[in-house]
Amino acid sequence: MTPLDPSNPFAAPSVLPYRLPDYAAIREEHYLPAFLAGMAEQRDEVAAITSTAEPPTVENTLVAFERTGRVLERVANVFCNQLSSDATPALEAIEEQVAPLLAAHHDAIWLDAALAARVEELGRQADEGRLELEPDTAYLLERRRVAHRRAGAGLADEAQARLREINERLTTLEARFGRTLLAATNAAAVLVADEDELAGLPDDAKAAAAAAAERHDEPGAFLIDLILPTGQPVLAQLENRTLRRRVFEASSTRGLGGEHDTRPILLETVALRAERAGLLGYAHHADYVASDLTIHGADAVADLLGGLVGPAVANARAEAAALQQALEHDEPGADLEPWDWSFYAQRVRRERRALDESAMRPYLELDRVVEQGVFRAANLVFGLTFARREDLTGYHPDVRVYEVFDTDGTPRALFLHDPWTRDSKRGGAWMNNLVDQSRLLDERCVVVNNLNIPKPPPGEPTLLTWDEVTTLFHEFGHALHAIFSDVRYPSQSGTAVPRDAVEYPSQVNEMWAWEPEVLRGFAVHRVTGEPMPAEWVQTLLDARQDGEGFATTEYLGAALLDQAWHRLTPDEVPTSPDDVEAFERAALERAGIAYGPVPPRYRSTYFNHVFSGGYSAGYYSYIWSEVLDADTVTWYGEHGGLRRENGDAFRAKVLSRGGSLDALQAFEDLRGRAPDIAPLLARRGLAGPAA
DSSP 524: B
In whole angstroms, give the CA distance from residue 391 to residue 395.
13
Q: In this structure, is residue 170 part of a structural domain?
A: no
Reduced to 3 states, what is the DSSP secondary structure of residue 55?
coil
| Of 452, 479, 475, the residue nearest 465 (C-alpha) | 452
Q: List, in sequence order, the alpha helices (H) in 484-523.
A: 504-509, 511-514, 516-522
Same domain, 408 and 538: yes
CATH value at residue 575: 1.10.1370.10
In whole angstroms, give the CA distance from residue 467 to residue 346.
13
In whole angstroms, give the CA distance from residue 384 to residue 73.
28
Greatest alpha-carbon pair distance for the chain in Å reads 83
Same domain, 67 and 89: yes
In whole angstroms, give the CA distance from residue 458 to residue 525.
20
Q: In this structure, is residue 156 part of a structural domain?
A: no
Domain membership of residue 409 as a residue range: 361-545
- Phi, psi angles (nearest 5°) of residue 386: -135, 145
- Phi, psi angles (nearest 5°) of residue 385: -130, 160
User: In 111-187, where do the E strands start and end?
Assistant: none
Same domain, 595 and 504: no
Output the pLDDT for position 691. 41
Same domain, 200 and 305: no
Output the pLDDT for position 689. 44
DSSP 626: H
Q: In this structure, is residue 680 part of a structural domain?
A: no
Question: What are the residue numbers of the active site?
Answer: 475
CATH value at residue 406: 1.10.1370.40
Output the pLDDT for position 535. 86
Same domain, 232 and 308: no
Same domain, 368 and 504: yes
In whole angstroms, give the CA distance from residue 546 to residue 316.
10
Tell me the three-class secondary structure of 323-376, residue by residue: HHHHHHHHCCCCCCCHHHHHHHHHHHHHHHHCCCHHHHHHHCEHHHHHHHHHHH
Complete DSSP assignment for 567-591: T--GGGS--SGGGHHHHHHHHHHHH
Neighbouring CB atoms inside 10 A of 196's CB total: 7
Q: List, in sequence order, the alpha helices (H) in 8-134.
A: 28-51, 64-66, 70-85, 89-110, 113-127
> Please, are residues 304 and 215 in contact by the beta-carbon 8 Å criterion?
no
Contacts of 355 (CB under 8 A, 6+ apart): 349, 536, 539, 540, 543
Q: In this structure, is residue 174 part of a structural domain?
A: no
Same domain, 329 and 294: yes
Q: In this structure, is residue 626 part of a structural domain?
A: no
In whole angstroms, give the CA distance from residue 566 to residue 284.
7
- Tell me how many domains the chain contains: 4
> Please, are residues 416 and 396 in contact by the beta-carbon 8 Å criterion?
no
CA angle 396, 402, 407 (to 5 degrees): 160
Same domain, 540 and 552: no
Q: Of 254, 276, 304, which closes a domain? A: 254
The H or E element spanning position 157 is helix 157-187
Each residue's pLDDT tens digit, 307-339: 999 999 999 999 999 999 999 999 999 999 999
The H or E element spanning position 246 is helix 241-252
Q: Of 545, 567, 586, which closes a domain? A: 545
Q: In this structure, is residue 204 part of a structural domain?
A: yes
| Of 559, 526, 571, the residue nearest 361 (C-alpha) | 526
Q: Of 254, 282, 300, which closes a domain? A: 254
Output the pLDDT for position 1. 58
Same domain, 473 and 583: no
Same domain, 405 and 478: yes
Q: List, in sequence order, the alpha helices (H) in 253-294.
A: 263-279, 285-290
Each residue's pLDDT tens digit, 582-615: 999 999 999 999 999 999 999 999 999 999 989 9
Q: In this structure, is residue 678 part of a structural domain?
A: no
Please indicate, yes or no, whether the overall pTM of this predicted structure exceeds 0.85: yes
In whole angstroms, give the CA distance from residue 222 to residue 205.
10
DSSP 284: S
Q: In this structure, is residue 176 part of a structural domain?
A: no
Same domain, 398 and 426: yes
Output the pLDDT for position 373. 98
Q: For strands 411-420 and 445-453, give the pairing.
A: parallel
Same domain, 45 and 65: yes
Q: What is the mean pLDDT of each run of 10 residues along the chain (691 residues)?
A: 88 98 97 98 98 97 98 98 96 96 96 97 96 97 97 96 97 96 96 97 94 95 95 96 98 97 98 98 96 91 96 96 96 97 93 82 96 98 98 97 97 98 92 98 98 93 95 98 98 96 96 94 95 87 87 97 98 97 98 97 97 95 96 97 97 98 97 95 76 41
Query: CB-hemisphere CA count at 13 Å for 169?
Result: 17
Question: What are the beta bridge partners of residue 222?
Answer: 192
CATH value at residue 71: 1.20.1050
